[in-house]
Structure 1
Amino acid sequence: MIARRHLLAAPALLLARPAAAVTWRGEPAQGALLVGRAAPGTRLALDGRAVRVSPEGLFAFGFGRDEDETATLAVTHPDGRAETRALAVRRRAWDVQNINGLPPAQVTPDDTALRRIMAERERLGAARAKDSARTDFAAPLAWPARGRVSGVFGSQRVLNGQPRQPHYGFDIAGPVGTPVSAALGGHVTLSGEFFFFGHLLVIDHGHGVNTLYAHLSERLVAEGEVVARGQVVARMGATGRVTGPHLHFSLSWYQTWLDPQPLLPPG
């Protein structure tokens, strides 16, 4: 009887074990990308939006530049237990510059340019909307180029009293031809020449995480190619709307621009 009681109790003990934790690296903050792991079979939703979880339990999500101070992460564990986590999203201060006296043509593009800009925006949006099963995003971010940091994420200019779109990239200045490498492995989803960005590439790293490389002098890979982390994919240039040669490097979670700088290794 004692042995039988132990056998009957065993399933109950297994069911009573706590569900595996949902963990991530990074701090919830405006502009942050969080990469985490949960038990396989876990379901997640951030503010009601489903977050893709790989069969191994890997996931990623991010917070925009102007994210609210709180977010809600809904977790459904593999055993069916549900919990809701309230996340405090740290606010950040952004640099805002007022520049007045510019010629109107430098502030507002003409109708022809605007039509081109809108068409390019749709192409870029489609590339950034990719939701592939790749998990390259789980690797550490590598520097895409070396040079002087000439621009940071989140800064904004007000031109002749008109607020411009915030700067959604991290700029690295250097000579034309400086090698540009893929910050993570992935799949090239866009390669083209754009009005503002000049020659650019977009690489999908899985689960909505993608990187963009702009103002290039040369693109060395084409749409559809799979690239490795650290592979040279382009060369730095001064194409598009620029004042000098540099790489505009952006990180996104789907359509949400994120700050890549805190994820890069020191130096």
Structure 2
Amino acid sequence: MKVRGCNALVVTLAFLSSMLFSGAMAVASEPSLVLNGKLTQGSLIRGQVPVGSQVSLNGQSLTVNPQGKFVMGFERDAQATHTLRIIAPDGKTHTQTLTISKREYDIQRIDGLDQKMVSPPKSVLERIRNDSANVARARSGNRNYDAVFTRFSWPAEGPITGVYGSQRVLNGEPKRPHYGVDVGGPIGTPIVAPTSGIVTLAEDLYYSGNTVILDHGMGVFSTFLHLDSITVKVGEELNKGEQLGTLGATGRATGPHLDWRINLGSMRLDPQLLITDSE
């Protein structure tokens, strides 16, 4: 059975026919602005403004590509109100206050893990540091690549067994929140690209096992953890639906599943919010 995601609440403040992703409803505003996504904690928002505009969120400048498209995100525990500022090509400044909804997160208790995976021995600390540095490099680009503005699909078929934002307690020890969505299934289930992307990492890591990272452009990356096998190499460009590996239980995993994550740079966002009921 294919898993289904949450409805995406689309907020739009004018229609731009050149938007690549669908689902926008339009009302009048000045200047023309489209925002696509659910205004809630953990959400990735994709937007478009007139070509040549500048955009900032809470005083921080956002990258706007030559077509006037940009992305922004709200972290797991983001505050309720945010200020979006647009400087139009004519130099006029327009300010929009965005209000995002608060979410309630689950607490998950997982017992029976090998203690070395909960509190790793000193002998593997250097490997963990190297893994973290490699992952940071793999997510460090800000490529002008349009895949992020297209529709995302589920990378695997199966039931959802873990959700974004949940707090995990491993062997009785509280850990940082879970920042992905878990899809269960048998070992060997194909894992495919949820939308087009360029492979920036494909290797075995201590915690996440066989891991692949895809760059979807504009600083947005998908990460696929605990794979049984990897079928791609760094530098390959995948089309949506092309296989990148198989579902597994490598690394710190209690059973076979895919842990799919979305990052906007270092910001960890909810992949499930990118999936709509029309998928």
Q: Give the alignment's TM-score, normalised by structure 2.
A: 0.84
Once the two structures are TM-superposed, the CA of residue 265 in structure 1 deviates from its matched residue by 3.3
1:177 pairs with one of 167, 188, 197: 188
User: In structure 2, the residue corresponding to 1:165 is in which secondary structure?
Assistant: strand
Q: C-alpha offsets along residues 48-94 of structure 1, whole Å, 9 cap, x if unaligned?
A: 22211111111111111111222222211111111222221211111
Retained in 2: the 8 A contact 1:58–1:135? no
1:247 pairs with one of 243, 249, 258: 258
Q: Aligned runs of 1:70-85 on 2, under 5 Å? A: 70-85=81-96
Q: Which has the higher contact order (CA 8 A, sep 6+)?
A: 2
Once the two structures are TM-superposed, the CA of residue 130 in structure 1 deviates from its matched residue by 1.2
User: In structure 1, the residue corresponding to 2:228 is in which secondary structure?
Assistant: strand
CA distance in 2 between counterparts of 1:208 and 1:189 reads: 12
CA distance in 2 between counterparts of 1:92 and 1:37 reads: 26
Once the two structures are TM-superposed, the CA of residue 241 in structure 1 deviates from its matched residue by 0.8
Q: Aligned runs of 1:221-236 on 2, under 5 Å? A: 221-236=232-247
2:148 pairs with one of 124, 137, 143: 137
Q: C-alpha offsets along residues 200-226 of structure 1, whole Å, 9 cap, x if unaligned?
A: 110001111110111111111100111
Retained in 2: the 8 A contact 1:217–1:238? yes
1:56 pairs with one of 44, 62, 67: 67
Q: CA RMSD in A?
A: 2.0
CA distance in 1 between counterparts of 2:235 and 2:117 reads: 35
User: In structure 2, the residue corresponding to 1:164 is in which secondary structure?
Assistant: strand
Once the two structures are TM-superposed, the CA of residue 47 in structure 1 deviates from its matched residue by 2.0
Retained in 1: the 8 A contact 2:117–2:207? no
Aligned length: 250
Q: Would you say 1:127 and 2:132 are equivalent positions? A: no
Q: Would you say 1:86 and 2:97 are equivalent positions? A: yes
User: In structure 1, the residue corresponding to 2:259 is in which secondary structure?
Assistant: strand
Retained in 1: the 8 A contact 2:38–2:273? no
CA distance in 1 between counterparts of 2:209 and 2:108 reads: 24
Retained in 1: the 8 A contact 2:117–2:252? no
Q: Where does residue 7 of structure 1 map in the other structure? A: none
Q: Would you say 1:152 and 2:195 are equivalent positions? A: no
Once the two structures are TM-superposed, the CA of residue 162 in structure 1 deviates from its matched residue by 4.2
Q: Where does residue 261 of structure 1 map in the other structure? A: 272
Retained in 2: the 8 A contact 1:200–1:216? yes
Unaligned runs of 5+ in 1: 1-17
CA distance in 1 between counterparts of 2:132 and 2:170 reads: 21
Answer with 1 or 2: which has the greater Rg. Answer: 1
Q: Aligned partner of 2:95: which letter? A: T
Retained in 2: the 8 A contact 1:19–1:79? no
CA distance in 2 between counterparts of 1:81 and 1:259 reads: 34
CA distance in 1 between counterparts of 2:170 and 2:188 reads: 31
Retained in 1: the 8 A contact 2:193–2:238? yes
Percent same amino acid among aligned pairs?
A: 38
Q: Where does residue 6 of structure 1 map in the other structure? A: none
CA distance in 1 between counterparts of 2:73 and 2:131 reads: 24
Q: Where does residue 12 of structure 1 map in the other structure? A: none
**Structure 1 residues 142 and 100: CA distance shift in structure 2, 3 A:** closer
User: In structure 2, the residue corresponding to 1:163 is in which secondary structure?
Assistant: strand
